Amino acid sequence: MEAGLPQILTVIWLGILTSISPCPLATNIVATTYIGKQIGSGFATVLSAAAYTIGRTIAYVVISILIIYGLISIPGVSNFLQQHMNQLLGPVLLITGLFILDLVPLRLPNVGYNTGMLQKLGNSGFLGAVVLGFLFALSFCPVSAALFFGSVIPVALKFQSRIFLPVCYGIGTALPVIGFAVIIAYSTRFAGIFFNKLSVAERWLRRITGALFVLVGLYFSLKYIFRVINF
């Protein structure tokens, strides 16, 4: 089964929402700003931000391949998922929506990186930016973990998309980061105002997305588990 336009747009949107969520947003701004300071050129800063997002995308694709390929390569698990994926999606989307809305706490272990290593990567040009993006992508925050593992992975698993949908998610995460790089590189004075406005917009966008997840999760549960609706 191939993913259609609704799934592609949904995954891209989830990537965008991940990038503008508070924890990833702070990480992306710090990484982009730091890399830009080392380079000193506006255009090169934007290119380095693109390299940074490539590293993040590679991390998401690697994780997706390991999870999806591992599950569908086991015949019993693969058959079970093909038959019951819609039933599983209901509770998964419902719980993910509650995580996104912060109605259910999600605590993750902190992943720390050596400051010297990060500084060395920041000074290593485009390749260092790729590695930096890869490492930072592995530092999942509660919201980003809920979005990726609770929505992108199940949808990619449903359509057996090991690479394409995770890449779309990576593209979604890349769009805001490249926008940040352009603002930081060419309009530093405007950056502070923009990020303050963005933090306000992110709260509302996250609430809307979380509410939609809860509604879709309820719909799938009522339709495929309890079978009380037929539309």
CB neighbour burial string for 107-124, b if at least 16 within 10 angstroms, e if fewer: eeeeeeeeeeebeebbee
Cα separation values, 12 from 139, 157, 196, 214, Å: 20, 16, 23, 19
Confidence grade of residue 37 (pLDDT, cut at 50, 70, 90): low
pLDDT score for 189: 67
Q: What is the pLDDT of residues 143-154, one digit of tens each?
A: 888 999 999 999
- Lowest-pLDDT range of 13-27, 37-51, 55-69, 161-175: 37-51
pLDDT score for 63: 93
Task: Give the span between the Cα atoms of 69 and 156, in whole angstroms.
Answer: 11
- Please name the residues in contact with 3: beta carbons below 8 A apart, sequence gap of 6 or more: 11, 155, 156, 159, 161, 164, 165
> Average pLDDT of 67-93?
87
Q: What percent of the chain has pLDDT over 90?
A: 32
If phi > 0 it is left, if psi is from -120 to 50 it is alpha, else beta; for residue 102 that is left
> Average pLDDT of 168-192?
81
Question: What mean pLDDT, rounded, does the chain reach?
Answer: 84
Residue of 222, 207, 210 lying closest to 90 (CA atoms):
222
pLDDT score for 80: 87
Distance of CA 11 to the CA centre of its chain: 9
pLDDT score for 188: 64
pLDDT score for 38: 60
Cα separation values, 203 from 95, 102, 139, 200, Å: 19, 11, 21, 6
Choose between 195 and 130: higher pLDDT: 130
pLDDT score for 109: 60
Residue of 32, 59, 34 lying closest to 115 (CA atoms):
34
pTM score of the predicted model: 0.87
Radius of gyration of the chain, Cα coordinates, nearest whole angstrom: 19
In terms of C-beta distances under 8 Å and separation of at least 24 residues, what long-range contacts does 217-221 make, across chains too?
A: 217/89, 217/90, 217/91, 217/92, 217/93, 217/94, 217/95, 217/96, 217/97, 218/90, 218/94, 219/90, 220/86, 220/87, 220/89, 220/90, 220/93, 221/90, 221/91, 221/94
